[in-house]
């Protein structure tokens, strides 16, 4: 941002506000006309379509999430949706190196990681209808054709595929004011053409006054020439217009603010109002993006184009958040021992949840990535020497599992705070069974089907099921916490709900041997079938969970496990409490 702030100052973001004669007095209740929108009793649902050009990875998901945040700050309800052009039905069977993390929703859908941005930035709860792929669309159409739904007609991309896409968009519009739809890929890609055609048609279906097109593009700075170049943006918009879509707003990704001359040039060549050429400047934290866009007037322009009242924006909480992020009191380092450390997007929600834990304690969290296989070498232990906390995240397959066990052993023996998630939970219990309980050969059947002590084995419900796609224990499940346990103290409640994604489970036959040696099962499913949490009461902070708490962490509401873990890591580093006390959270809703 322009200028800087001191430790005691808030950054000055001059958001666009309506005049007093346009807006009623501020109230905690949303205006009735806005509350009723989308319910059939008020104004029609509005739609925002976000596309990208020039190159991939410009941040369409963050842009859509930031716009959703701004609209919520104005009092509107939003839903966000992502269309991905690849042919996989979902990303569940894709390598993390190919696609990044698989984000899991409450209803058990395996989805694109951008849905994590949507939920972290807004109050929406994603569902399986929030993410559609080419494969999922075509599968639905083919199933309808096999049932005879098309009454003998020739099934074609237009209208059948495009109608299916439009039906999916309408499916996200229940009880909300605005639906934001992100189209994955880059304009010009052959794979995304049906989606672009569908959103072109959608404006004709619902009316120009109810839709806007926002195009995210790149304005690179060429160092040798000392100039910002607008030609990539011009060409990208030309490609978009060639298929019948004229963008209403351009978000120009760049490393510096665009001056009036550059904006005027882009507006002229792209046939966009000059005020709608928005600088999408690089920022030091992704949580600053909504404030930067608001300072450019994006929220005011969006509301104007959608013919929605320009209500007062309440961005105070978000400004306070950014202030805390930029002004930490201290910092610490968490060592993350994983299998896919070469590509950080493989653990996107995990990264953000760790940072959220730092926000709760006004601490800066640095992540040190440790390849699990590297710990299997004789000198591997040295990689963990400076850790203030050790986190072992999820994964699949045998590679690196012995390194994960060494990470758990290092933490257990040296009193370093340990947080095991999913696969990390499984290998923490196997390590304890081997090295503390003396169960030689204890293992997971995912690695050794003939292990003498099958501490971890395949879900009993999946015995005989060989398909990999969508066959795990997926989605939101209840967990009861043991009275007086560390887990119960952290959550501040005895019943929680967390999201799961696993194919193997803890073998309850080994609960007694582990408990006799000091490991406590502090969380289990209400029916007693699944062990969900294990902890070591004698350790400063050792918690391993079968579920994925990172999927429910938000910057304004950090997950209590991550907040407590970061506080414990800081205590391990300094021998004192974190600068800001952490209130126990609750996940009982």
Residue 145 appears among annotated catalytic residues: no
Closest CA to 372 of 361, 362, 384: 384
- Rounded to whole angstroms, the Cα distance separating 59 from 257 reads 17
- Provide the greatest CA pair distance for the chain: 77
Closest CA to 395 of 339, 327, 322: 339
Give the tokens for residue 69: 């945040």
The whole-angstrom distance between residue 217's C-alpha and the CA centroid of its chain comes to 22
- Report the b/e string of 138-160 with b at 16+ CB within 10 A: bebbeeeeeeeeeeeeeeeeeeb
Task: Indicate which residue of 117, 548, 559, 572 is catalytic.
Answer: 548
Residue with tokens 């930490």: 328
Three-state SS across 338-394?
ECCCCCHHHHHHHHHHHHHHHHHHCEEEEEEEEEHHHHHCCCHHHHHCCCCEEEECC
C-alpha distances (whole Å) from 68 to each of 47, 80, 177, 302, 545 are: 11, 8, 11, 11, 32
Residue 422 appears among annotated catalytic residues: yes
Sequence-distant (≥ 6) Cβ neighbours of residue 331 within 8 angstroms = 363, 364, 365, 366
What one-character-per-residue DSSP string does 420-439 give? EETHHHHHHHHHHHHHTS--
Interhelix angle 231-242/260-270, rounded to 10 degrees, is: 30
Are 122 and 80 in contact, with CB atoms under 8 Å apart? yes
Q: Count of CB atoms within 10 A of residue 283's CB?
A: 13
Task: Indicate which residue of 480, 498, 550, 567 is catalytic.
Answer: 550
65's enclosing H/E stretch is: helix 60-73
Are 72 and 303 in contact, with CB atoms under 8 Å apart? no
Residue with tokens 């990390």: 424
Task: Indicate which residue of 270, 354, 422, 479 is catalytic.
Answer: 422
Closest CA to 391 of 361, 370, 375, 413: 370
Are 268 and 262 in contact, with CB atoms under 8 Å apart? no
Known catalytic residues are: 422, 548, 550
């Amino acid at each position: 941002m322009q200028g800087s702030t001191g430790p005691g100052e808030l950054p000055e973001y001059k958001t666009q506000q309506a005049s007093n004669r346009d807006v009623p007095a501020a109230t905690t209740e949303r205006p009735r006309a806005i509350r009723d929108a989308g319910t059939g009793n008020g104004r029609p649902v509005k739609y925002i379509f976000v596309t990208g050009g020039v190159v991939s990875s410009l941040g369409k998901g963050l842009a859509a999430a930031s716009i959703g945040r701004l609209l919520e700050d104005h009092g509107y309800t939003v839903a966000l949706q992502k269309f991905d052009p690849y042919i996989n039905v979902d990303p569940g069977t894709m390598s993390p190196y190919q696609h990044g993390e698989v984000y899991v929703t409450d209803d058990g859908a395996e989805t694109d990681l951008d849905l994590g941005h949507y939920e972290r930035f807004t109050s929406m709860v994603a569902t399986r209808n929030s993410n559609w792929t080419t494969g999922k669309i075509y599968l639905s159409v083919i199933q309808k054709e096999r049932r005879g739904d098309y009454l003998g007609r020739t099934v074609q991309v237009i209208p059948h595929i495009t109608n299916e896409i439009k039906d999916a968009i309408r499916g996200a519009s229940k009880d909300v004011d605005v639906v934001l739809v992100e189209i994955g890929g880059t304009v010009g890609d052959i794979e995304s053409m049906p989606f672009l055609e569908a959103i072109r048609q959608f404006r004709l279906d619902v009316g120009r006054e109810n839709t806007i097109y926002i195009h995210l593009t790149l304005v690179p700075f060429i160092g040798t020439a000392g100039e910002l170049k607008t030609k990539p943006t011009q060409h990208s918009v030309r490609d978009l217009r060639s298929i019948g879509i004229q963008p209403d707003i351009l978000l120009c990704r760049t490393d510096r603010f665009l001056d009036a001359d550059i904006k005027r040039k882009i507006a002229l060549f792209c046939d966009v109002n000059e005020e709608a050429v928005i600088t999408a400047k690089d920022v030091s934290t992704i949580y600053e993006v909504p404030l930067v866009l608001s300072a450019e007037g994006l929220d005011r322009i969006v509301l104007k184009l959608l013919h929605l009242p320009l209500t007062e924006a309440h961005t105070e909480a978000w400004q306070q958040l950014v202030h805390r992020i930029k002004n930490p009191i201290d910092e610490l380092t968490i060592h993350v021992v994983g299998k896919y450390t070469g590509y950080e997007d493989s653990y996107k929600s995990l990264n953000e949840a760790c940072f959220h834990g730092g926000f709760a304690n006004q601490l800066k969290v640095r992540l040190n990535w440790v390849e699990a296989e590297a710990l299997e070498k004789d000198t591997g232990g040295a990689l963990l020497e400076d850790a203030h906390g050790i986190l072992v995240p999820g994964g699949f397959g045998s590679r690196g599992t012995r390194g994960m066990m060494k990470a758990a052993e290092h933490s257990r023996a040296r009193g370093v705070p340990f947080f095991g998630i999913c696969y990390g939970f499984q290998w923490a219990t196997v390590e304890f069974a081997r090295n503390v309980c003396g169960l030689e050969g204890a293992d997971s059947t995912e690695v050794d089907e003939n292990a003498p002590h099958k501490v971890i084995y395949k879900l009993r419900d999946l015995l005989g099921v060989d398909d990999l796609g969508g066959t795990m224990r997926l989605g939101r499940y209840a967990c009861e916490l043991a009275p007086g346990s560390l887990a119960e103290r952290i959550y501040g409640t005895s019943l929680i709900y967390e999201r799961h994604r696993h194919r193997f489970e803890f073998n309850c036959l080994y609960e007694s041997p582990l408990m006799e040696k000091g490991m406590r099962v502090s969380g289990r499913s209400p029916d007693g079938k699944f062990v969900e949490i294990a902890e070591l009461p004698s350790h400063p902070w050792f918690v391993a969970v079968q579920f994925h708490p990172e999927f429910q962490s938000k910057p304004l509401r950090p997950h209590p496990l991550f907040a407590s873990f970061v506080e414990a890591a800081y205590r391990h580093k300094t021998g004192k409490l974190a600068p800001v006390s952490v209130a126990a959270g609750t996940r009982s809703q």
